[in-house]
């Protein structure tokens, strides 16, 4: 019940600041839609490309967490973490339920805007959506988001030790963009980069969830993706818990 | 066993020091200099259930750091703390359900939403049953006169209203221990008085342990029998407020307004004249001679008004801070 209350409360907050939520989606959208227009003129695989970029743009807004700045700058550096530490509630879960409304609202906004874009530029989408696999796709999307969220929470905890991590967060965002397939489909990468993408967690956060809607995967493919995602999530959770336990000892609760 | 037990608690912070100017920046880029700041140094005390204890000290004395350690916010450098049998830094949910930390300078309410939304969230976080929630909320809202503001956005409330809403939020789960860090800061006298009466009432009604830090001596005078005076991270005094006051009150002042002009020399034999203006005189007298001097004045002169003035607690505390001894 408390998680529903938190979700509800933050949905209310999103509605209070609807312009902010809407503005923030223009940054990733501007990149992807420009790329889409470029590929429209340059390739014959237009259906695949347009579907890929459109889903990556909308899906990416839901699947990619941007919690790191909030945790590092506001909670840790300005001391807002105090509000969570004195309550009988898990900080990780609280932040998760705080961020979900933003992700959902941004994905909805993006879907609406891209819908207009599709109609205006006459793009065709070719989706492979089999009702039987919808629960598995839902699991893959959830795990994808949790991977991104746990990774961003973990790197945000570095602010317990380092004062200014903004550059580092930018760098990890760029790496995540490259290896999650946001620039282009991973199969188009040079072999070495493709291999790297497969051994890093980022592709399991965005690329594979999006691919479940585009490629005709079989049941075993879905299971494989879920297994690898679960392994990554476990690794990241161990990493997250370690950083939290060590980092919280460094917290000075300033800003009071 | 005490409700709160602190043994040899120390908390040090590592502080980065930089010389001013461009050269200082270059030096610190090559080699950073750090200093260890001893916010709290080897303090020990214990507090029983139902006590209302005031923590007094100037800025940077270590009061808030001690409260942060007690509420589990920061990790002590050394020493042991036990609150209701828990180690605060473990932040076990059972422990967090038993305490509340109210910070006068930090709002824990959702800024953009009405206080009621925060209360409903706290109800879920603390698993407060519906009936208990309604009863406690009604009671607190009534006591603090908040009915009109429950549906107003927190950002639109006055400082006093916000502080009262803050108190309600922190007391909904009826904590056994209440940490109050500057709860009346920035409030006007009427509001300060209301908050004090409320805290006193809560302490009595629920036998709650309250630890209060405040720069306003009136908060401490009105609420706390016991005070812990802390400065430079060490405890200078732990005990009854009246004991320390009387210990430092060796002299008392007698203010007299005479009906007619009097001879200065005669009065000087009875005490030190610290002020004399027309028929108004202020005499400083050793406290054991006050009764005798008052008796002498009343029997030998025509007096319009006479008052014996206690020294201000602020003056006494300030003397203790500057002399670093009790």
pLDDT at B82: 95
**CA A76/CA A255 separation, integer angstroms:** 10
Contacts 24+ apart (CB under 8 A), A183-189: A183/A35, A184/A35, A185/A52
Neighbours of B318 (CB within 10 A): 13
Taking contacts as CB-CB distances below 8 angstroms, the residues of chain A near B75 are 248-251
Instruction: Give the residue on B whose Cα is nearest the Cα of A78.
Output: B106
Q: A169-190: b or e for each residue (b if 16 or more CB lie within 10 Å)?
A: beebbeebbbbbbbbebbeebe
pLDDT at A38: 64
Are A85 and B13 a contacting pair at CB < 8 A? no
For helices B115-125 and A2-16, what crossing angle results, to 10°? Answer: 160
Instruction: Give the residue on A whose Cα is nearest the Cα of B126.
Output: A88
B35 phi/psi in degrees, rounded to 5: -125, 150
Distance from CA of A108 to the nearest CA of B (A): 23
Distance from CA of B132 to the nearest CA of A (A): 17
- B239 DSSP assignment: E
**CA B163/CA B152 separation, integer angstroms:** 14
**CA A254/CA B294 separation, integer angstroms:** 53
Taking contacts as CB-CB distances below 8 angstroms, the residues of chain A near B101 are 82, 86
| B13, B59, B67, B74, best to mutate vs chain A, most A CBs in 10 Å | B74
Taking contacts as CB-CB distances below 8 angstroms, the residues of chain A near B68 are 253
- Average pLDDT taken over every residue of chain B: 88
**A207-253 pLDDT, tens digit each:** 999 999 998 899 999 999 999 999 999 999 999 999 999 999 999 87
The contact set of B with A (CB < 8 A) is: 13, 64, 68, 71-75, 91, 93-94, 96-97, 99-101, 103, 105-106, 108, 110, 112-113, 117, 120-122, 124-127, 181
**CA B302/CA B258 separation, integer angstroms:** 6
pLDDT at A31: 66
DSSP assignment of chain A: -HHHHHHHHHHHHHHHTHHHHHHHTHHHHHHHHHHHHHHHHH-S-HHHHHHHHHHHHHHHHHHS---HHIIIIIIIISSTTHHHHTSSS-HHHHHHHHHHHHHHHHHHHHHHHHHHHHHHHT--------GGGHHHHHHHHHHHHHHHHHHHHHHHGGGGT-S--HHHHHHHHHHHHHHTTSSS-GGGS-HHHHHHHHHSSHHHHTHHHHHHHHS---HHHHHHHHHHHHHHHHHHHHHHHHHHHHHGGG------
Pairs across A and B, CB distance < 8 A: 70
- Token representation of residue B42: 């080897």
Instruction: Give the residue on A whose Cα is nearest the Cα of B124.
Output: A2
DSSP assignment of B137-175: HHHHHHHHT-GGGTTS-GGGS-HHHHHHHHHHHHHTT--
Are A88 and B124 a contacting pair at CB < 8 A? no
Name which of A2, A13, A88 is nearest B97 (Cβ-Cβ).
A88
A148 close to A179: Cβ distance less than 8 angstroms: no
pLDDT at B103: 87
**CA B18/CA A218 separation, integer angstroms:** 61
**CA A161/CA A248 separation, integer angstroms:** 10
Number of H helices, E strands in chain B: 12, 13
Are A82 and B106 a contacting pair at CB < 8 A? yes
pLDDT at B311: 67
pTM: 0.81
The contact set of A with B (CB < 8 A) is: 1-2, 5-6, 9, 12-13, 16-17, 79, 82-83, 85-89, 248-253, 255-256
Q: How far is CA B109 from CA B42, B121, B165, B170, B179, in A?
A: 34, 10, 8, 10, 17
Are B113 and A16 a contacting pair at CB < 8 A? yes
**A59-86 pLDDT, tens digit each:** 888 898 989 989 999 999 888 999 899 9
How do beta strands B226-231 and B52-56 pair? parallel
Q: State the alpha helices, DSSP H only, in B84-129.
A: 93-96, 115-125
**CA A240/CA A118 separation, integer angstroms:** 40
**B96-125 pLDDT, tens digit each:** 999 999 988 788 888 888 999 999 999 999
Tracing tokens 């005990």 back to the chain, one arrives at: B239
User: How large is the ipTM?
Assistant: 0.78
Residues sharing a CB contact under 8 Å with residue B326, sequence separation 6 or more, in sequence order: B229, B236, B237, B244, B247, B320
pLDDT at A146: 97
Are B106 and A256 a contacting pair at CB < 8 A? yes
Taking contacts as CB-CB distances below 8 angstroms, the residues of chain A near B64 are 256
Task: Measure the CA angle with vertex B75, ends B72 and B78; round to 5°.
Answer: 120
For chain B, what percentages of helix, strand and coil (3-state, to nearest 5) are there? 40, 30, 30
Tracing tokens 């991590």 back to the chain, one arrives at: A165
Distance from CA of B111 to the nearest CA of A (A): 10
Tell which residue, A168, A177, A185, has the closest CA to residue A148.
A177
Taking contacts as CB-CB distances below 8 angstroms, the residues of chain A near B105 are 256
Distance from CA of A171 to the nearest CA of B (A): 22
**CA A169/CA A89 separation, integer angstroms:** 27
- B98 DSSP assignment: T
A217 close to A129: Cβ distance less than 8 angstroms: no
A53 close to A32: Cβ distance less than 8 angstroms: yes
Instruction: Give the residue on B whose Cα is nearest the Cα of A16.
Output: B112
Task: Report the percent of chain A where pLDDT is more than 90.
Answer: 41
Task: Measure the CA angle with vertex B172, ends B166 and B173; round to 5°.
Answer: 130
Section B22-35 average pLDDT: 76
**A129-154 pLDDT, tens digit each:** 788 899 999 999 999 999 999 999 99
Taking contacts as CB-CB distances below 8 angstroms, the residues of chain B near A9 are 110, 113, 117, 121
Are A256 and B121 a contacting pair at CB < 8 A? no
DSSP bridge pairs for B99: B177
Residues sharing a CB contact under 8 Å with residue A85, sequence separation 6 or more, in sequence order: A91, A248, A251, A253, B72, B73, B91
Taking contacts as CB-CB distances below 8 angstroms, the residues of chain B near A84 are none
Taking contacts as CB-CB distances below 8 angstroms, the residues of chain A near B182 are none
pLDDT at A20: 61
**CA A63/CA B323 separation, integer angstroms:** 61
Residue of higher predicted confidence among B9 and B242: B9
Name which of A79, A88, A255 is nearest B93 (Cβ-Cβ).
A88
**pLDDT band, residue A255 (cuts 50/70/90):** very low
**CA B68/CA B40 separation, integer angstroms:** 11
Tell which residue, A148, A157, A213, A152, has the closest CA to residue A180.
A148
């Amino acid at each position: 019940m408390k998680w529903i209350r938190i979700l509800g409360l933050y949905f209310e907050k999103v509605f209070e600041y609807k312009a902010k939520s809407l503005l923030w989606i223009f940054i990733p959208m501007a990149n992807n839609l420009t790329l889409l227009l470029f590929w429209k003129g340059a390739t014959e695989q237009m259906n695949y490309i347009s579907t890929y970029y459109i889903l990556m743009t909308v899906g990416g807004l839901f699947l990619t967490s941007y919690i790191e700045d909030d945790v590092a700058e506001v909670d840790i550096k300005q001391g807002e973490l105090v509000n969570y530490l004195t309550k009988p509630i898990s900080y990780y879960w609280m932040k998760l339920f705080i961020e979900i409304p933003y992700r959902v609202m941004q994905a909805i906004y993006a879907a609406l805007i891209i819908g207009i874009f599709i109609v205006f530029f006459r793009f065709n989408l070719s989706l492979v959506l089999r009702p039987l696999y919808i629960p598995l796709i839902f699991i893959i999307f959830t795990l994808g988001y949790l991977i991104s969220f746990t990774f961003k929470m973990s790197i945000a905890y570095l602010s317990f030790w380092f004062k200014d991590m903004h550059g580092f967060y930018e760098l990890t965002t760029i790496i995540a963009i490259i290896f999650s397939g946001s620039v282009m489909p991973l199969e188009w990468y040079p072999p070495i980069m493709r291999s790297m993408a497969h051994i890093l967690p980022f592709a399991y956060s965005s690329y594979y969830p999006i691919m479940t809607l585009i490629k005709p995967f079989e049941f075993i493919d879905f299971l494989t993706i879920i297994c690898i995602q679960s392994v990554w999530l476990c690794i990241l959770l161990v990493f997250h818990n370690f950083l939290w336990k060590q980092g919280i000892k460094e917290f000075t609760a300033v800003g009071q | 066993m005490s409700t709160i037990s602190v043994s040899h608690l120390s908390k040090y912070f590592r502080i980065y020091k930089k010389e001013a100017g461009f050269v200082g920046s270059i030096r610190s880029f090559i080699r950073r200099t750090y200093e260890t700041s001893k916010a709290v140094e080897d303090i020990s005390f214990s507090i029983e259930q139902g006590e209302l204890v005031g923590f007094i000290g100037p800025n940077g004395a270590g009061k808030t750091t001690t409260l942060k350690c007690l509420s589990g916010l920061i990790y002590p450098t050394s020493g042991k703390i036990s609150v209701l049998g828990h180690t605060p830094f473990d932040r076990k949910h059972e422990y967090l359900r038993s305490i509340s930390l109210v910070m006068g300078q930090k709002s824990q309410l959702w800024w953009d939403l009405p206080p009621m939304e925060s209360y409903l969230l706290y109800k879920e976080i603390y698993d407060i049953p519906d009936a208990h929630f309604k009863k406690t909320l009604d009671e607190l809202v009534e006591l603090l006169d908040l009915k009109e503001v429950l549906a107003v956005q927190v950002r639109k409330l006055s400082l006093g209203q916000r502080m009262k809403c803050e108190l309600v939020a922190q007391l909904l789960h009826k904590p056994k221990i209440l940490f109050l860090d500057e709860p009346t800061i920035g409030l006007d006298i009427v509001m300060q008085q209301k908050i004090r009466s409320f805290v006193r009432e809560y302490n009595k009604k629920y036998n709650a342990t309250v630890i209060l830090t405040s720069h306003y001596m009136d908060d401490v005078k009105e609420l706390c029998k016991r005070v812990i005076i802390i400065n430079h991270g060490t405890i200078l005094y732990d005990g009854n407020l009246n004991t320390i006051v009387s210990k430092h009150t060796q002299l008392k002042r007698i203010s007299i307004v005479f009906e007619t002009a009097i001879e200065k020399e005669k009065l000087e034999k009875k005490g030190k004249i610290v002020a004399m203006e027309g028929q108004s005189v202020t005499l400083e007298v050793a406290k054991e001679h006050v009764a005798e001097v008052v008796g002498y004045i009343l029997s030998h002169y025509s007096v319009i008004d006479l008052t014996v003035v206690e020294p201000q607690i602020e003056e006494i505390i300030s003397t203790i801070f500057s002399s670093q001894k009790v």
